[in-house]
Amino acid sequence: MTHPFDSPDDVRGAETRERRPVKKRRGRKVLIAVAVVVALVAVVAGGYLFNLARTFDSGTSKIDQAFPEESTRPQKTNTAMNILVMGSDSRGATESDAAGGTPTSQRADTLMLMHIPADRKNIYTMSIMRDLWVDIPGHGEAKINSALALGGTPLMVQTIESIFQQRIDHVAMIDFEGFKGLTDALGGVSVNIKVPFTSTALPGQSFAPGQHTFNGTEALAFVRERHAYADGDYQRVRNQQEFLRAIIKKSIAGQTLSNPITINNMVGAVSPFVTVDKTLDSGAVAGLGLELKDIRAQNTVMFTLPTGGIGTSTDGQSIVLTDPNAIHDISAAMASDSLGEYVALNKFENGN
């Protein structure tokens, strides 16, 4: 069973736009912008809350048909929230189709399932390997990312729901290009490279282990890279999680939170590259942000769905095998709203 797990860095509170005592405004965390979950956890307070939510709302595209037929869907068993996040390298016509229920040429390069328990005291983000070999409803066995190509967002949601038997509440599709603008809006992001690589996207550029300050172009190459690694997508998933931790760290730095222009630029830079279901509007984002106001670093965990390793399909494709026991246990934990206990038992919060 493969367990590539990572945990994010410290997350602190944000400052309000109004002039208030520093101690008071630093202690109030009222928004985690879930609508840009892969690209950013923007923590803001007071007067920023609804204004930023509106900026996000006006900048994002909406998916009119994000979910499958109601008769095919599991019912809610608790008030926990599940958000499916899909990352892709392409937008435009193919994404427009993918946002509906029609077959497309697009596949999801990155899949993450964010689970927020009913008490809203923790956030668990689980990466799912894109080549995981699963049953696609109505299409038989295939790589999980092909669900988007075969039936758009509704089929992808149906596939995830059928695997975990848990209802998806919201969907966000994020183009990797948004990482570029977000990084530049922050003035560069320092990333800890754990595995050296020579970039296939930036010919002639190699990156040694250690801290590197990436500009937008370099960050985009980092989160996309997989060909340079022996374990391909496994390392890419770990890199994407590392990048998110770096984004979070830079986003909540004092010089960032004290600058309303920077914060607004961050949300404005990534919003045009995000497509969400139509119910994830400014009101929903602001409301969820208020519910998550007490989140701290120790309450957030990123990990990867354990797998059964690499295999080959009957038609010769290189695939990632499922770990049925892990899927069963995670599904049961989500159903009973006890994912935190499962995470603690498996020591996912402490990294690999």
Q: Which of 240, 241, 264, 238 is nearest to 251 (CA)?
A: 264
Check: CB of residue 105 under 8 Å from CB of residue 281: no
Tokens of 325: 């026991």
Enumerate the H helices of 46-169 as residue ranges.
48-59, 93-98, 146-164
Mean pLDDT, contiguous 10-residue spans, the chain (352 residues): 45 39 35 36 43 77 94 94 83 46 63 93 91 97 94 96 97 85 87 92 90 92 90 88 78 59 75 88 77 70 92 95 97 95 78 44
For residue 275, give the amino acid letter: T
pLDDT recorded at residue 287: 79
Q: Which of 243, 285, 298, 271 is nearest to 43 (CA)?
A: 285
Looking at the domain that runs over 5-350, which CATH code has it been given? 3.40.630.190
Enumerate the H helices of the chain as residue ranges.
22-26, 48-59, 93-98, 146-164, 177-185, 216-224, 233-251, 254-257, 260-270, 282-291, 324-335, 339-345
Which phi and psi angles does 288 have, rounded to 5°?
-65, -35
Check: CB of residue 282 under 8 Å from CB of residue 56: yes
For 79-125, write each residue's pLDDT tens digit.
999 999 998 765 433 444 455 555 555 567 789 999 999 999 988 98
For the chain, which residues make up each domain, given as ranges? 5-350
DSSP letters along 277-307, please? ETT-SHHHHHHHHHHTTT--GGGEEEEE--E
Question: What is this structure's pTM?
Answer: 0.79
pLDDT recorded at residue 134: 98
CA distance 51 to 53: 5
pLDDT recorded at residue 233: 87
Q: From residue 275, how far is each of 40, 125, 340 by CA, in Å? A: 14, 19, 29
306-327 in b/e form (b: 16+ CB < 10 A) is: bbbeeeeeeeeeebbbbbeebb
Q: How many residues does the chain have?
A: 352
Check: CB of residue 304 under 8 Å from CB of residue 3: yes
